[in-house]
Amino acid sequence: VDVAPEGTEYPFVVFQFVHSAPVDNNSVERIMNDELWLVRSVGMGNSYTGLEPIANLIENILHKATGDGVIGAVQEEEFRYSEFENGVHYKHIGHYYRIFTQ
């Protein structure tokens, strides 16, 4: 979660918790939690090409997914960004996912 362990090989995937809000009914009883997660693949180099299949695989797994404690998941915004640090180019590609949990 948040960052990859030191020494992780590229490309890798990072899950980052953004925020959570309770969803209550009219009696103010908790129905579920509305969570927002950022899921991104990270690679080295000047191209997103190698990261796109990873982002697509994550989308196929998470979008509309359900499971133990998970009511549903919905892909929201896509993002891409680059950074240059210590002479190395890094690319990030991923999506925000809204995940409803109990």
Digit-coded pLDDT (tens) for 34-67? 999 999 999 999 999 999 999 999 999 999 999 9
Given a cut of 80, is residue 1 above it in pLDDT? Answer: no
Contact 20, 36 (CB under 8 A): yes
Helix (H) or strand (E) segment spanning residue 60: helix 52-62
Please say whether the dihedral angle defined by the alpha carbons of residues 46, 48, 50 and 51, taken in this order, is positive or negative. positive
Q: How far apart are CA 51 and CA 13, in angstroms?
A: 10
Mean predicted confidence (pLDDT) in 9-27: 94
Confidence (pTM): 0.87
Which of 62, 61, 73 minimizes the C-alpha distance to 98? 73
Residue 73's CB is within 10 A of a number of other CB atoms, namely 19
Q: Which tokens sit at 77?
A: 């915004």
As separate numbers, helices (DSSP H) first and strands (DSSP E) second, the chain gives 1, 4
